Amino acid sequence: MTDQPTASSPGRVSTPAGRLALIAAVLAGLLLTNLALYAIGRALGGVFTYRQNGANVRVDPVAVTFMSLVPLAFGLGLVAALSRKWPAAILVARIAAPTLAVATIAVMTLPAGFDTTSAVSLAAMHLTTIPPTLLALNALPRGPGRDTRQSPAR
């Protein structure tokens, strides 16, 4: 038996392990990009602080890590679960994810009162979630039974 591509795997990531590896790479790339944007923003004078309950709160690399990875990982997990019974969930997510990325700039970042450099850096971080999200959504199986393979008869 050879490992030649078949009609069920025309160049896409078609194995669960391959999809998981792609999603892990997407998450790692997003995190590295957002931490680089944070470092650039800090180097350009951004202080990344906002007022909450009368105290200054600083956005630090741990917060950037958490806010970069958790929403995307949770969303992908939710869409993966939903798409097994409702394949249209992937299409909905392809529209909702970029919309939410832009909307959260207006709802979270701008009203927080960050200095300009910090606000621009944080807004860029929101926007950087769009390409990896769309790439990861492409890796998800579409519909029930897409991960199952027939075992060779013995």
More confident residue, 14 or 148: 14
**How far is CA 135 from each of CA 5, 19, 20, 91, 153, rounded to the nearest angstrom?**
21, 11, 12, 13, 36
pLDDT band at 1 (very low <50, low <70, confident <90, very high): very low
Mean pLDDT of 90-116: 96
Residue 4 has pLDDT above 50, yes or no: no
Q: Among 130, 7, 8, 133, which Cα is nearest to 80's?
A: 133
Q: Provide mean pLDDT across the span 81-105.
A: 95
The band of 6, judged by pLDDT with boundaries at 50, 70 and 90, is very low
Instruction: Look up residue 60 and give its two tokens.
Output: 């630090």
